[in-house]
């Protein structure tokens, strides 16, 4: 094979490499390539939202218009899903959406690391969302929050099953929320890499090199599709966060 | 952590084909990932909630207020323009009515003056006509009187010629008057 095995291996792109060995109180706190891209995401979002709006122009510049669009997009999502009371969670949902969106988009740049392709990252976000739902729900409504699991107007015979189903659905939320994003990113990047590998392999396979444009076209189309997925998954993550937070604010069906 | 156990159990299946553990399920880097995620996301949340979002919210509010104010001003200006137009139209109508009035007045006075002139002329003409008539009748009467004397003279001359003798003028005059009367 002409290309080195590492370049063809579709899993290699998810490897984490320590760039800086750090150890805080016995815990591994190394600065890795994933950490580097987390910092890049943070800087990119900050550049857009803080530096881009520093002029506070009445007639916005391009960057400020983009920042305003992001603001209004997430604000309308929160308002439509939760209502006016939900605006207290707007900074949280916004940060989540922007972080995930930028992670997904930056991950599409060749050679970049996709932070959201790590289950631990997406699960941390999902756990944060569900944790917020539980803590806020119990704080705001106390025991009434548990009515979330007891829908009104159900016959007493069915009630135990319904409660069981509600609890299972609640528990599966963080899993589905994290796995959906993680799996989409992982699968998309593996697919891109596999087709990229096809191009390299065909080029190195003599007469078959004539076929190599086919996977190249496929990558081009897939990249466009992955751009859509990158945005869509960030949006899905944000809107599901809103739906779950809505349960914390308005428990009981 | 529950997630760690599920993740690592799944990882063994995924890692079968590759040398090490399947990287996304490799728990050796979980601690550093979570730490750096907490740092970056925490900072991002702080910056967004404290600086960026209030600022964007303020910008949008300012713009909405500005647009509403401008619209209000435009509406006021439009109302003013409409009022001005109404006033203008009123003035125009008034001026038109006045002009018409003036025109009619002029027309009326002109007609009256013409009428007076015509009447004066007519009466003058009538007077002249009457004078002419009087003169004609006077001239006629004078002429008629002359006719008497001419007729008398002529009759006297004729009789003198015919008879060869002078006739009494008084007799001829009465005879002529009788003939003329007949």
pLDDT value for B130: 94
Within an 8 Å CB–CB cutoff, is residue A91 touching chain B?
A: yes
Helix, strand, coil percentages in chain B from 3-state DSSP, rounded to 5: 95, 0, 5
Contacts of A76 in chain B (CB under 8 A): none
Q: How far apart are CA B101 and CA B107, in angstroms?
A: 10
DSSP state of A109: S
Q: How far apart are CA A107 and CA A100, in angstroms?
A: 10
The mean pLDDT of B80-94, rounded to a whole number, is 96
Taking alpha carbons only, the member of A37, A40, A16 closest to residue A28 is A16
Which own/partner contact pairs does A196-205 have at CB distance under 8 Å and 24+ positions apart? A197/A3, A197/A7, A197/A8, A197/A10, A200/A2, A200/A3, A200/A7, A200/A8, A201/A1, A201/A3, A201/A8, A203/A2, A204/A1, A204/A2, A204/A3
Note whether A34 contacts B33, CB cutoff 8 Å. Answer: yes
Nearest CA in chain B to A31: B32
User: Is residue A193 a contact partner of residue A10, using CB atoms and an 8 Å limit?
Assistant: yes
Cα dihedral A195, A200, A204, A210 sign: positive
Within an 8 Å CB–CB cutoff, is residue B65 touching chain A?
A: no
Closest partner residue to A91 among B27, B43, B48, by Cβ? B48
pLDDT value at A111 more than 60: yes
Distance from the Cα of B97 to chain A's closest Cα (Å) equals 52
- Strands, E assignment, B62-133: none
pLDDT value at B1 more than 70: no
Query: Chain B neighbours among A 154-213 (CB < 8 Å)?
Result: 182, 186
pLDDT value for A37: 93
Strand partners, A20: A31
Within an 8 Å CB–CB cutoff, is residue B117 touching chain A?
A: no
pLDDT value at A50 more than 60: yes
Query: CA angle at residue A195 from A194 to A197, to 5 degrees?
Result: 65
Helix, strand, coil percentages in chain A from 3-state DSSP, rounded to 5: 75, 5, 20
Question: Residue A113: exposed, middle, or buried by beta-carbon count in 10 A (0-12, 13-18, 19+)?
Answer: buried
Could you tell me what percent of chain B has a pLDDT over 70? 88
Q: How far apart are CA A103 and CA A121, in angstroms?
A: 11
Within an 8 Å CB–CB cutoff, is residue A94 touching chain B?
A: yes
The mean pLDDT of A43-57, rounded to a whole number, is 89
Most confident residue range from A12-16, A57-61, A185-189: A185-189
Nearest CA in chain B to A99: B41
Helices marked H in B27-52? 30-47
User: Is residue A11 a contact partner of residue A192, using CB atoms and an 8 Å limit?
Assistant: no
| A91 CB neighbour count, 10 Å cutoff | 21
pLDDT in tens, A122-153: 999 999 999 999 999 888 888 888 888 887 77
DSSP state of A224: H
pLDDT value at B10 more than 50: no
Q: Which domain holds residue B58?
A: 2-181
Within an 8 Å CB–CB cutoff, is residue A22 touching chain B?
A: yes
Contacts of B36 in chain A (CB under 8 A): 29, 31-32, 34-35, 38-39
Q: How far apart are CA A166 and CA A147, in angstroms?
A: 10
User: Is residue B34 a contact partner of residue A120, using CB atoms and an 8 Å limit?
Assistant: yes
The tokens for B46 are 């702080």
User: Is residue A245 a contact partner of residue A133, using CB atoms and an 8 Å limit?
Assistant: yes
**What domain count does chain B have?**
1
**What ipTM does the predicted assembly reach?**
0.87
pLDDT-derived band at A222 (thresholds 50, 70, 90) equals: very high
The mean pLDDT of B54-78, rounded to a whole number, is 94
The mean pLDDT of A214-239, rounded to a whole number, is 93
Most confident residue range from A181-190, B15-24, B26-35: A181-190
The tokens for A253 are 């069906």
pLDDT value for B3: 41
pLDDT in tens, B119-169: 999 999 999 999 999 999 999 888 887 887 888 888 888 888 888 777 777
Q: How far apart are CA A246 and CA A248, in angstroms?
A: 5
């Amino acid at each position: 094979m002409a290309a080195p095995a590492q370049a063809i291996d579709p899993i290699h792109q998810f490897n984490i490499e320590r760039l800086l060995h750090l150890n805080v109180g016995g815990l591994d706190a190394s600065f890795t390539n994933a950490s580097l891209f987390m910092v890049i995401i943070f800087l990119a979002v900050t550049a857009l939202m803080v530096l881009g709006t520093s002029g506070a122009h009445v007639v916005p510049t391009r960057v400020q218009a983009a920042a305003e669009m992001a603001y209004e997009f997430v604000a309308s999502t929160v308002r439509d899903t939760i209502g006016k009371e939900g605006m207290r969670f707007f900074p949280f949902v916004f940060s989540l959406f922007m972080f995930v969106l930028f992670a997904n988009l930056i991950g599409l740049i060749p050679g970049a690391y996709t932070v959201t392709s790590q289950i631990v990252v997406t699960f941390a976000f999902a756990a944060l969302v569900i944790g917020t739902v539980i803590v806020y729900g119990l704080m705001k409504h106390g025991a009434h929050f548990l009515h979330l699991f007891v829908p009104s107007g159900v016959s007493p015979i069915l009630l135990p099953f319904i409660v069981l189903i509600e609890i299972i659905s609640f528990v599966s939320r963080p899993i589905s929320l994290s796995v959906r994003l993680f799996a989409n990113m992982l699968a998309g990047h593996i697919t891109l890499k596999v087709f990229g590998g096809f191009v390299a392999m065909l080029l190195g396979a003599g007469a078959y090199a004539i076929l190599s444009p086919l996977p190249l076209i496929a990558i081009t189309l897939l990249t466009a599709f992955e751009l859509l997925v990158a945005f869509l998954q960030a949006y899905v993550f944000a809107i599901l966060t809103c739906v779950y937070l809505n349960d914390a604010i308005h428990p009981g069906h | 952590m529950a997630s760690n156990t599920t993740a690592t159990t799944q990882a063994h299946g995924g890692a079968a084909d590759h040398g090490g553990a399947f990287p996304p399920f490799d728990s050796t880097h979980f601690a550093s990932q979570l730490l750096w995620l907490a740092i970056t996301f925490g900072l991002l949340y702080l910056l967004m909630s404290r600086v960026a979002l209030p600022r964007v919210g303020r910008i949008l509010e300012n713009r909405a207020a500005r647009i509403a104010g401008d619209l209000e001003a435009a509406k006021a200006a439009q109302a003013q323009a409409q009022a001005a137009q109404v006033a203008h139209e009123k003035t125009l109508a008034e001026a038109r009515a006045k002009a018409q009035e003036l025109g009619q007045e002029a027309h009326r006075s002109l007609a009256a003056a013409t009428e007076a002139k015509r009447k004066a002329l007519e009466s003058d003409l009538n007077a002249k006509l009457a004078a002419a008539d009087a003169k004609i009748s006077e001239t006629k009467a004078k002429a008629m009187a002359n006719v008497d004397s001419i007729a008398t003279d002529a009759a006297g001359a004729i009789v003198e010629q015919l008879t060869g003798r002078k006739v009494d003028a008084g007799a001829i005059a009465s005879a002529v008057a009788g003939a003329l009367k007949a």
